[in-house]
């Protein structure tokens, strides 16, 4: 009897795992279409052979974009109301409260996204989704550092990667393209300071790197 009940529960879970509704209610159809297309481009690169599975993953990604938009729109509405109805310290406190609520909402929902993806994707595919949502900046930045400084130690490479992964976690929830790049920019500065502290002359390393790029016919 217990095995029968367990089987029913597992079956119900499997059915639910394949039923991700696209949360379009109250959204402009043109906006929904653009987000779905953006999400589809990311999912298309994952090599998912099952069309139904790919659609579910696309819906998860699109719903994440919708969720982020909702969080930032709620923040904007509260900030706008505060600026229109309050003055002085009361206004500043209300604006800061709106920002704090936004940060809390982002934190609460941040881990739901990879958890939802994990029902359908491997860890490597989840990483690919995160890279797709952040324009592949992690890999480009990491590869550039390795190419610029061929003498980096394994320890230094690991530290650079760790910081870039941290940057990506912030960038994936950022409000827009500029802020996603800004998130990486802050960590690039941290990496530069780290490498300088390790004795690297980054100006010289960069000059020599540019020479190597030109020598192999590349563009800077």
Confidence (pLDDT) at 103: 98
**Who has greater pLDDT, 12 or 39?**
39
pLDDT, tens digit, 9 for 90 and up, residues 128-159: 999 999 999 999 999 999 999 999 999 999 99
CB 101 within 8 A of CB 78: yes
**In angstroms, what CA-CA distances link 148 with 1, 37, 164, 203, 217?**
64, 35, 16, 11, 16
Residue 19's pLDDT band, with cuts at 50, 70 and 90, is confident
Give yes or no for residue 162 having a pLDDT over 90.
yes
Class of residue 120 by CB neighbours under 10 A (exposed 0-12, middle 13-18, buried 19+): buried
pLDDT, tens digit, 9 for 90 and up, residues 166-178: 999 999 999 999 9
**In angstroms, what CA-CA distances link 159 with 117, 139, 215?**
27, 14, 29
Residue 4's pLDDT band, with cuts at 50, 70 and 90, is very low
**Tokens for 27?**
């959204």
Q: Percent of the chain scored above 90 by pLDDT?
A: 90
Confidence (pLDDT) at 220: 82
CB 139 within 8 A of CB 113: no
Predicted TM-score (pTM) of this structure: 0.90
Q: Percent of the chain scored above 70 by pLDDT?
A: 92
Give yes or no for residue 9 having a pLDDT over 80.
no
Residue 71's pLDDT band, with cuts at 50, 70 and 90, is very high
Confidence (pLDDT) at 172: 98
């Amino acid at each position: 009897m217990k095995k029968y009940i367990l089987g029913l529960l597992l079956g119900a879970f499997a059915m639910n795992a394949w039923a991700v509704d696209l949360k379009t209610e109250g959204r402009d159809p043109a906006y929904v279409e653009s987000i779905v297309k953006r999400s589809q481009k990311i999912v298309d690169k994952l090599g998912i052979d099952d069309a139904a599975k790919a659609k579910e993953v696309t819906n998860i990604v699109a719903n994440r974009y919708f969720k982020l938009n909702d969080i930032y729109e709620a923040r904007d509405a509260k900030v706008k109301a505060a600026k229109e109805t309050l003055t002085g310290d009361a206004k500043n406190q209300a604006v800061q409260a709106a920002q704090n609520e936004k940060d809390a909402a982002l934190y609460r929902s941040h881990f739901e996204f990879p958890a939802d993806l994990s029902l359908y994707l491997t860890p490597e595919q989840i990483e690919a989704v995160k890279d797709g949502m952040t324009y592949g900046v992690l890999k480009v930045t990491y590869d550039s550092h390795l190419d610029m400084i061929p003498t980096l130690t394994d320890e230094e490479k690991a530290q650079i990667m760790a910081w870039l992964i941290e940057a990506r976690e912030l960038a994936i929830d950022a409000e827009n393209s500029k802020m996603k790049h800004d998130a990486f920019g802050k960590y690039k500065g941290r990496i530069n300071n780290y490498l300088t502290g390790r004795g690297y002359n980054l100006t010289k390393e960069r000059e020599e790197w540019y020479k190597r790029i030109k020598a192999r016919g590349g563009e800077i």
